[in-house]
Amino acid sequence: MNKVYPDAQTALDGLLKDGIMIMSGGFGLCGIAEWLSDAIRESGVKNLTVVSNNAGVDGIGLSRLLETRQIKKMISSYVGENKLFAQQFLAGELELEFAPQGTLAERIRAGGAGIPAFYTKTGVGTLIAEGKEEKVFDGEKYIMERGLFGDLAIVHAWKGDTAGNLVYRKTARNFNPMMATAAKTTVAEVEHLVPEGEIDPDHIHTPGIFVQRIVEVGSAKKHIEQRTTRKRTDPAIPAGTGEEV
């Protein structure tokens, strides 16, 4: 079975339909499947439900799908870096299901493991618990959370082989391994594609059994999520040199 595709658009061919649920790896701008999300934008598919810790920042990542109003609902943990996200939600133009970050991670992991639901103390007595089943264990209240399993997962890895085995680099590992297990079809974009067997089995984070399609995209774009600068007091460093940070 050939899993390697020449570009992101081809790798998504036949997988995109209106109304599907997409699992998207990444945390902030680290480890996001930027080439694949841009290809989804170009496809014009709409009414999407997207599961992601956040939606990137304005103009980068999933936010580009918000610009084109292709996302109907987000299931997320943190949205504070994205003004467009907030604007659409407050205007009633975007559905949002908030989940505490650990709960979101476990919902994705559970979906990938075939677990339909689980109980957690996180969120008991808060707005998160509204409308959810409650149960008492050992005298403590817990709420039931549903596992998440999508139609399509898009992930970004540092290295992959032609069999679909993936290695994530440092903090880009974040939500990607869980997302890769929690969908009917997983498409991975990798910076470096190597022949099958070249990756040490002990170094593999996502086994190829979870990955159906893979595309090599080259080195990741190094975006800065928050730029904080201050003026240097050293007169030997002239302003505008880039060293006054």
What is the rounded distance in angstroms from the CA atom of residue 136 to the CA atom of residue 61?
41
Helix (H, G, I), strand (E, B) or coil at 41: helix
pLDDT of the chain, 245 residues: tens digit per residue: 899 999 999 999 999 999 999 999 999 889 999 999 999 999 999 999 999 999 888 888 899 999 999 999 999 998 777 889 989 999 999 999 999 999 999 999 999 999 999 999 999 999 999 999 999 999 999 999 999 999 999 999 999 999 999 999 999 999 999 999 999 999 999 999 999 999 999 999 999 999 999 999 998 777 777 777 777 676 666 665 555 44
Q: Where are the alpha helices (DSSP H) in 44-145?
A: 63-67, 83-90, 101-112
Residue 198: per-residue pLDDT: 97
Tell me the C-alpha distance between 31 and 173, whole Å.
7
- Residue spans per domain, the chain: 4-216
Q: Residues 169-215: pLDDT tens digits?
A: 999 999 999 999 999 999 999 999 999 999 999 999 999 999 999 99
Buried b (16+ CB within 10 A) or exposed e, 153-185: bbbbbbbbbbbbbbbbbeebbbbbbbbbbbbee
- Domain 4-216 of CATH type 3.40.1080.10: yes
Task: Tell me whether strands 117-120 and 134-137 are parallel, antiparallel or unpaired.
Answer: unpaired
